[in-house]
Amino acid sequence: MELTCPLPLNYQQIVMAHGGGGRLMQQLLARVVQPTFSNDYLNQQHDSAVFTVGNQRLAFTSDSYVIKPLFFKGGDIGKLSVCGTVNDLAMSGAKPLFLSCSLIIEEGFPIETLQRILQSMQETAEQAGVMIVTGDTKVVDHGKGDGLYINTAGIGLLETDLIIQPSSIQVGDAVILSGDLARHGIAVMLEREGLDFESEIVSDCAVLSPLVQDLLQAGIEIHCLRDLTRGGLASCLIELAHSANVHIEITETALPIIEPVRTACELLGFDPLYIANEGCFALFLPAEQVASALAILQKHQTGQHACQIGTVQSTHEQGLLTLSTAMGIIRGLDLLSGEQLPRIC
Amino acid sequence: MFHKQAFRNPAIAKKLVAAIAQISTQPWTIMEVCGGQTHSIIQYGIDQLLPDNIRLIHGPGCPVCVTPLAYIDKALAIASVPDIIFCSFGDMLRVPSSHSDLLSAKAQGADIRIVYSPLDALKIAQENPNREVVFFAVGFETTAPTTALAAQQAKQLGLKNFSLLTCHVCVPPVMRALLKSENCQVQGFLAAGHVCAIMGYQQYHPIAQRYRVPIVVTGFEPVDILQGIYQCVQQLEAGRFEVENAYSRVVKEQGNTAAQNAMQQVFQTVDRNWRGLGEIPQSGLMLAPSFDAWNAELKFNVQTINTEEPKACRSGDVLQGLITPPQCPEFGKTCTPEHPLGATMVSTEGACAAYYRYRRGVN
């Protein structure tokens, strides 16, 4: 492969921040990955590629799971690997059907632990109404992996005529959030660092397709959906604002953050707007449908904290996300470079 | 945590803003010393709420920002020694040295770990008796006590594979240095609440008297900061220059004497270079000779590393409040959080990073 221009990145090798969901990851995708594979489907920059086979519209996606620790409050790598891929399919409006499961296992990994993780995958798959139908197994040398990495890919069927993607976002749309912020990231971090909090913080890791299917069946005119993963709410909405060339404004006082999560973020020096969820999505829809959509979402346990957090204000050439603060000030939200680093004091 | 929300109450904040406007009859320039305060000010937009005649300048109180390049180079030199486990607070990792940063060293295979406390690093040393473990001890009087504890415990345990690269700094000497400077524009200080929680505020009385500046010990929430500004303006308008405590729910006049004792036993005061500010007499803390066996500079023979600061970076002027970050010609152009020229762009507490993150793109 020959790059046509000098590699316009400041790093000549991959650093952790290239996987952190922030600006460096965007640069890596935009400058190294996308130009190489460039095609109409990939360039839509959506969670899944949507294409037509015969007269059926299908969604296709893939994701890898490298989480440490493998077990955390509210889930494990197995549950996560099914939820993540199912949710990526759901974000295009598709009904998830089939998943693959590829395992990269480190030599010495206990088979009993592997069984527990696969069982968790199967239970989550049943919950989501998908089957795990193919896969692959590789073993790597001791010390060359964190126990277990999982890749899943998924296929789903679009039964709706709606084109659910960033370019369908319209000025005047309302932005709904389906759950409270930052719970997965903080739960995993506390587990990893061995920090105990008085109130238990449980990951929000959950299958989101039932919520989306209910919205579609009720005739909600969904313009765009995006689940919040790495980089959290702010990164998700900034990417959408860029893709759709709009100015999105969210309201600080409307953001649902449970108190233990807020406290943990303050103690550890993290901004909850940039911390991962794994069972929460942003929904763009016509403002007049907000009440009906919220009623549907709030019937689900996963959607009980659903609320409107913002609106699409106007078109904007580069895309802009702003936060209307409790103090009455409007400030911009930008992509972080990479992962948030814990503050000194 | 109900009280924390109360200190973010917009109605109370607006009342304080109105009160500040009411009592101020002329322009005043106030410096918030601590980087945590700077971030709060920019994050909540406090500077935009204030009346036009009150100007805030952002002080040198971000420990990442003021750690001199030489120490980043020393850290890199030590971290690159084979088989070393190098432990650091998270936000030191992205600070560029003269040629690289700790994140890149990690990508190239160095075992660099983020910890929340030097005591975590000490634990890593106990768990890995066959490897050398070094902690990069930076920060003000807030982080110095835990470094002191780690040094004391390492000595008690006779831990031979643990050492500290120490670059702690103290607030009062830098306040003095700023006030002595010809260009000094500061008329009043918001002292750093957390530093005062450790050290108390007795040591500020002579500064207030000698330089005739009001100093108000201030917290970090919007209402705390506005209360600090209010008290500062009140003094300025009345021609008073006293030390007041606007953060009494956390800070006592004597501070935390147990922490102070630990620091006295472990550290000695030395002249120290500050990034962007140059050498400030008696402003640094280094391990006392009785802790030489745990001094990483001696153990790894890096005392002689002495790196010059880049010329284009004007973080020194930013740290002194002479320019705001957007007034630097490199801001947002050659200097961004992805490619920072100086540490004020790296740390989440740095003034340049705060402006870049919260102000760019918003009209």
DSSP assignment string, A23-59: HHHHHHIIIIIHHHH--TTGGG--SSEEEEETTEEEE
State mean pLDDT over A307-332.
93
Q: Which domains does chain A have, with CATH numbers?
A: 1-38 (no CATH), 45-158 (3.30.1330.10), 166-332 (3.90.650.10)
Could you tell me which residue, A17 or B72, shows the higher pLDDT? B72
**B22 is a domain residue:** no
Asked whether the beta carbons of residue B357 and residue A334 sit closer than 8 angstroms, the reply is yes
pLDDT (mean) for A24-41 = 90
Alpha carbon of B341 to those of A336, A343, B191, B194, B309: distances in Å? 17, 20, 28, 28, 10
Residue B292 in 3-state DSSP?
helix
Q: pLDDT-based confidence at A23, cuts 50/70/90?
A: confident
The residue written with tokens 């830098």 in the block is B174
DSSP labels for B30-85? EEEEEHHHHHHHHHHTHHHHS-TTEEEEEEEE-HHHHS-HHHHHHHHHHHTSTT-E
Spans in chain B with pLDDT lower than 70: 1-3, 348-349, 360-363
- What is the per-residue pLDDT for A24? 84
A302 three-state secondary structure: coil
Q: What is the pLDDT of residue A8?
A: 38
> Would you say residue A77 has pLDDT above 90?
yes
At A209-238, the pLDDT tens digits run 999 999 999 999 999 999 998 889 999 999
Query: Does ipTM top 0.85?
Result: no
Q: What are phi and psi of A47, to 5 degrees?
A: -65, -30
B224 touches chain A (CB under 8 A): no
Q: Which of B338, B345, B352, B359 to mutate to test the interface with A (most CBs of A within 10 A)?
A: B338
- Tell me, what's the pLDDT at A343? 59
What's the pLDDT at A327?
87
What pLDDT, on the 0 to 100 scale, is given for residue B363? 43
Helix axes B222-238, B35-44, angle to 10 degrees: 100
Which of B357, B359, B360 has the most A C-beta neighbours within 10 Å, making it the best mutation to test the interface with A?
B357
The pLDDT of residue A1 is 30
Say whether pLDDT at A179 is over 80.
yes
CA distance A10 to A7: 8
CA distances (Å), A179 to each of A162, A187, A209, A286, B5, in order? 23, 15, 14, 19, 21
Reported as type and span, the H/E element at residue B172 is helix B171-180
Is residue B166 situated within a structural domain?
Answer: yes
Asked if the structure places residue B50 within a domain, the reply is: yes
Q: Please give the order of strands across the beta sheet that includes A49-53.
A: A49-53, A56-65, A148-158, A95-106, A131-140
Domain of B196, CATH number, reads 3.40.50.11740
Kindly determine whether residue B90 and residue A337, on different chains, have CB atoms separated by under 8 Å: no
Give the one of A15, A331, A344 whose C-beta lies nearest to B91's C-beta.
A344
On whether any CB of chain A is under 8 Å from the CB of B220, the answer is: no
Cα separation, B122 vs B141, whole angstroms: 20
Beta strand ranges found along A214-305 (DSSP E)? 224-227, 246-251, 281-285
- Domain assignment present for residue B102? The answer is yes
B7 found inside a domain: no
Enter the pTM of the model: 0.83
Between A345 and A256, name the one with better pLDDT. Answer: A256
> How many Å apart are CA B159 and CA B131, to the nearest integer?
11
Could you check whether the bond before residue B222 is cis, i.e. omega within 30 degrees of 0? no
Assess contact for B138 and B92: CB atoms under 8 A. Answer: yes
In a domain, B156, yes or no: yes
| pLDDT, chain B, mean | 91
For residue A344, give the nearest of B14, B64, B362 by CB distance.
Answer: B64
Pairing of strands B133-139, B85-88: parallel
User: Can you give the pLDDT at residue B3?
Assistant: 62
Cβ contact A344–B36 (<8 Å): no
| Subunit contact B103:A16, Cβ cutoff 8 A | yes
The reported pLDDT for the residue numbered A68 is 87
Contact A320 B337 (CB under 8 A): no
**Of the candidates B49, B338, B362, which has its C-beta nearest A332's C-beta?**
B362
| Residue B213 within a domain | yes
From chain B, the residues in CB contact with A332 under 8 A are 357-362
Containing structural domain, residue B356? 32-363
Do the Cβ atoms of A73 and A202 come closer than 8 Å?
yes
Mean pLDDT, chain A, whole residue set: 91
Domain tally, chain B: 1
Smallest CA–CA distance, residue A343 to chain B, in Å, is: 6
Residues of B numbered 40-59 whose beta carbons fall under 8 angstroms of chain A's beta carbons: which are they? 42-46, 48-49
B143 contacts A13? CB cut-off 8 A: no
The answer to whether residue B12 is domain-embedded is: no
> Is residue B8 helix, strand or coil?
coil
